[in-house]
């Protein structure tokens, strides 16, 4: 538990990964190029912990200790103190490449760099660094503090020692690690969920059932904690589109072909929670207070 973890990126997933580490007793550095994003990330983690305390999921002392373990840093060079740095910025090749190149420059050569990607090739991203043997993918499942699974995605040059070190770290956080050869299948979670999500969107688009009804069938009929359309809104429809496109390109299987409704919604800026409208509408904090 004494190892220091760095997280580059303070969005929904980056903040969730940092909180997962902190709740497990691990100190974590959180960096973002934007100071406002960094502040929002820490504030959101505090609010999430506050709700968890109210629901009795965690006691107030443990929540305060978790917050204390999360240290926001404004300078990327401060991440050099960590022995594992997880990149979790936007699911965009150029953005990820820029950040990984910068991390590779400032971090010790023995530091493990990882990417929390759901669709981009591990080997392609490893090419942005000079340490392919110390590089892999760590695909956390949303919401990261709650879901007990992490997919460890290996590139063709990822060393066994790197995989072992990362598995030991995450198992210490209470996570189960599924090691996957990225070049063979890509993230398994995405492949499985992609089939369900794509069919759910096609059913909705055809008028066969409403978003509410489709999610209710999965929640009440299959026992899923959250229906597929709610999950897509939470993850981001742009991320979902990239993931399905990747699976379709890898396999050529029609089940992964992105439904027209998904591409259309993304082109219109309907991205789910982050745009406050997707398959559902999400009022702003001000609007909720007015209610």
Question: Would you please indicate which residues are annotated as catalytic (active-site) residues?
Answer: 118, 139, 151, 190
What are the strands of the beta sheet with 28-31, ordered from one edge? 70-73, 28-31, 5-8, 84-87, 112-115, 135-140, 149-154, 176-181
Please list the alpha-helical segments (H only) found in 56-106: 60-69, 93-106
| Contact (Cβ atoms closer than 8 angstroms) between residue 64 and residue 94 | no
Q: What span, in angstroms and rounded, lies between the C-alpha atoms of 285 and 105?
A: 39
How many Cβ atoms sit within 10 Å of the Cβ of residue 164? Answer: 11
Q: Sign of dihedral through CA atoms 196, 94, 142, 3?
A: positive
Which residue's entry shows tokens 């060079």? Answer: 77
Residues 6 or more apart whose Cβ sits within 8 Å of residue 166: 84, 112, 114, 136, 138, 152, 177
Phi, psi (rounded to 5 degrees) for 285: -60, -40
Torsion, CA 219, CA 177, CA 179, CA 226, rounded to 10:
10
The phi-psi region of residue 269 (left if phi > 0; otherwise alpha if psi is between -120 and 50; otherwise beta) is left
For 191, the token pair is 């492949």
Q: Return the axis-axis angle of helices 237-251 and 228-235, rounded to nearest 10°.
A: 100
Task: List the one residue out of 226, 225, 222 whose CA is nearest residue 211.
Answer: 226
| Contact (Cβ atoms closer than 8 angstroms) between residue 57 and residue 145 | no
């Amino acid at each position: 538990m004494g190892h220091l973890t760095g997280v580059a990126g303070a969005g929904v997933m980056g903040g969730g990964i940092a909180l997962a580490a902190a709740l497990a007793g691990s100190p974590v550095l959180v960096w973002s190029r934007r100071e406002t994003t960094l502040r929002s990330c820490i504030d959101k983690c505090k609010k999430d912990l506050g709700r968890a305390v109210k629901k009795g999921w965690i006691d107030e002392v443990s929540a305060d200790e978790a917050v204390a373990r999360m240290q926001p840093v404004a300078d990327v060079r401060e991440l050099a103190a960590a022995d594992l740095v997880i990149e979790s910025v936007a699911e965009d090749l150029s953005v990820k490449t820029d950040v990984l190149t910068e991390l590779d420059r400032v971090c010790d050569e023995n530091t493990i760099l990882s990417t929390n990607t759901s669709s981009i090739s591990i080997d392609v991203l490893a090419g942005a660094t000079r340490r392919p043997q110390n590089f892999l993918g760590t695909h956390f499942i949303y919401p990261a503090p709650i879901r007990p699974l992490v997919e460890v995605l290996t590139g063709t040059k990822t060393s066994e020692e790197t995989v072992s070190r990362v598995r030991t770290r995450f198992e210490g956080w209470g996570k189960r690690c599924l090691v996957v050869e990225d070049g063979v299948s890509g993230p398994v979670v995405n492949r499985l969920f992609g089939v369900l999500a794509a069919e759910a969107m096609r059913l909705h688009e055809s008028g066969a059932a409403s978003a509410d009804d489709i999610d209710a069938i999965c929640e009440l009929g299959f026992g899923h904690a959250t229906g597929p359309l709610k999950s897509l809104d939470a993850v981001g429809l742009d991320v979902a589109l990239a993931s399905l496109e990747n699976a379709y390109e890898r396999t050529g299987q029609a089940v992964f072909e992105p439904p027209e409704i998904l591409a259309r919604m993304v082109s219109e800026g309907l991205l789910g929670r982050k745009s406050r409208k997707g398959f559902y509408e999400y009022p702003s904090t001000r609007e909720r207070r007015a209610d």
